[in-house]
Amino acid sequence: MANKVNITIDGIKLYVPANYTILQAAKEVGINIPTLCFLKDVNEIGCCRMCVVEVKGSKALQAACVHPVKEGMVVYTHTPKVMEARKVTLELILSNHNANCQTCERSWMDCELQALANKMSVGDVRFEGDNAKLPLDIGPSIVRDPNKCILCRRCVSMCKNTQTVSVIDLVNRGFKTQVAAPFDMPLSETPCVNCGQCITVCPVGALHEKQDIDKVWEAIYDPEKVVLVQTAPAVRVALGEDFNMPIGTPVTGKMVTALKMLGFDKVFDTDTAADLTIMEEVGELIDRVRGGGKLPLITSCSPGWIKFCEHNYPEMLENVSSCKSPHQMFGAVLKSYYAEKNDIDPKSIVTVSIMPCTAKKFEAARPEMEVDGLRDVDYVLTTRELGQMIYDVGIDFPSLGDSTFDNPFGKATGAGVIFGATGGVMEAALRTAADLLTDTSADNIEYEAVRGLEGIKIAKIQIADLTLRAAVAHGLGNARKLMEAIKNGEEFHFIEIMACPGGCVNGGGQPLQLSDVRNWIDIRAERAKGLYTEDRASFIRKSHNNPAVKKLYKEYLGMAGGTKAHHLLHTHYTERKNYE
Q: What is the pLDDT of residue 396?
A: 97
pLDDT exceeds cutoff 80 at 108:
no
Whether residue 1 is predicted with pLDDT greater than 60 in this model: the reply is no
> What is the per-residue pLDDT for 336?
97
Highest mean pLDDT of the ranges 94-103, 262-271, 536-545:
262-271
The pLDDT tens digits of the residues spanning 285-337 come to: 999 988 888 999 999 999 999 999 999 999 999 999 999 999 999 999 999 99
Determine which one of 301, 309, 357, 500 is catalytic.
301
Which pLDDT tens digit goes with each residue over 227-250?
A: 999 999 999 999 999 999 999 999
Please state, in angstroms and rounded to a whole number, the distance separating the CA atoms of residues 12 and 26. Answer: 10
CA distances from 374 to 205, 347, 361, 367 (A): 35, 7, 16, 11
Compute the C-alpha angle 317/318/324, nearest 5°: 75
31-56 pLDDT, tens digit per residue, is 999 999 999 999 999 999 999 999 99
Ranking 94-103, 246-255, 332-341, 383-392 by mean pLDDT, the lowest is 94-103
Angstrom distance (rounded) from CA 294 to CA 79: 65
Q: Is 360 a catalytic residue?
A: yes
Catalytic residue among 321, 322, 353, 515: 321
β 169-171/178-180 pair status = antiparallel
Q: What is the mean pLDDT of residues 527-539?
A: 95
281 is catalytic: yes
What pLDDT, on a 0 to 100 scale, did the predictor assign at position 175?
81
| Closest by Cα among 352, 351, 336, 338 to 565 | 336
Beta strands in 18-119 (DSSP E): 52-55, 62-63, 74-76
pLDDT, one tens digit per residue, over 247-290 is: 999 999 999 999 999 999 999 999 999 999 999 999 999 999 88
Rounded to a whole number of angstroms, the distance between the first and last alpha carbons of the chain is 53
Res 176: pLDDT: 85
pLDDT of the residue at 174 = 84
Mean pLDDT of 352-356: 98
Task: Say if residue 155's pLDDT is above 70.
Answer: yes
Helix (H, G, I), strand (E, B) or coil at 44: coil
Q: Which residue out of 209, 504, 534, 543 is catalytically annotated?
A: 504
Q: Is 47 a catalytic residue?
A: no
Q: Which contacts (CB < 8 Å, 24+ apart) does range 343-349 have?
A: 344/226, 346/374, 347/374, 348/224, 348/225, 348/226, 349/225, 349/226, 349/227, 349/228
**Given the residues 280, 284, 310, 385, the one annotated as active site:** 284
Confidence of residue 98 (pLDDT cuts 50, 70, 90): confident
Catalytic residue among 360, 361, 457, 542: 360
pLDDT digits (tens, 9 = 90+) for 493-526: 999 999 999 999 999 999 999 999 999 999 999 9
Q: How far is CA 464 from CA 23, 284, 435, 438, in A?
A: 53, 18, 10, 6
**Own/partner long-range contacts of 434-437 (Cβ < 8 Å, ≥24 apart):** 434/461, 434/463, 435/542, 435/544, 436/282, 436/286, 436/544, 437/286, 437/463, 437/464, 437/466
Give the separation between CA 552 and CA 276, rounded to whole angstroms.
9
Neighbours of 246 (CB within 10 A): 9
301 is catalytic: yes
Q: Would you call 87 a catalytic residue per the annotation?
A: no
Q: Are 73 and 93 in contact (CB under 8 A)?
A: no
Residues in the chain: 580
Mean pLDDT of 383-404: 97
Q: Which of 54, 209, 363, 496 is catalytic?
A: 363
Please name each of the domains of the chain with its CATH number. 4-93 (3.10.20.740), 109-209 (3.30.70.20), 214-569 (3.40.50.1780)
pLDDT at residue number 469? 94
Q: What is the pLDDT of residue 511?
A: 96
Of the candidates 105, 112, 241, 281, the residue annotated as catalytic is 281
130 pLDDT higher than 80: no
438-483 tens-digit pLDDT: 888 877 788 999 999 999 999 999 888 888 999 999 999 999 999 9
pLDDT at 272: 96
Is 368 noted as a catalytic residue in this protein?
Answer: yes
Please determine, for residue 397, whether its predicted confidence score (pLDDT) is greater than 70.
Answer: yes
Q: What is the mean pLDDT of residues 556-580?
A: 92
In sequence order, what are the beta bridge partners of 354?
A: 231, 381
Evaluated on CA atoms 104, 105, 109, 111, the torsion sign reads: negative
State the burial class of residue 252 (Cβ atoms within 10 Å of its Cβ: 0-12, 13-18, 19+): buried
- What pLDDT is attached to residue 444? 78
**DSSP helix/strand/coil, 209:** strand
CA atoms within 13 A on the CB side of 552: 31
- Average model confidence (pLDDT) across the chain: 94
Bond before 246 cis per omega within 30 degrees = no
Q: Which of 119-128, 201-210, 219-228 has the lowest mean pLDDT?
A: 119-128
Mean pLDDT of all residues in 541-568: 95
Categorize the per-residue pLDDT at 117 as very low, low, confident or very high, splitting at 50, 70 and 90: confident
In the predicted model, is pLDDT for residue 204 greater than 80? yes
pLDDT at position 442: 79
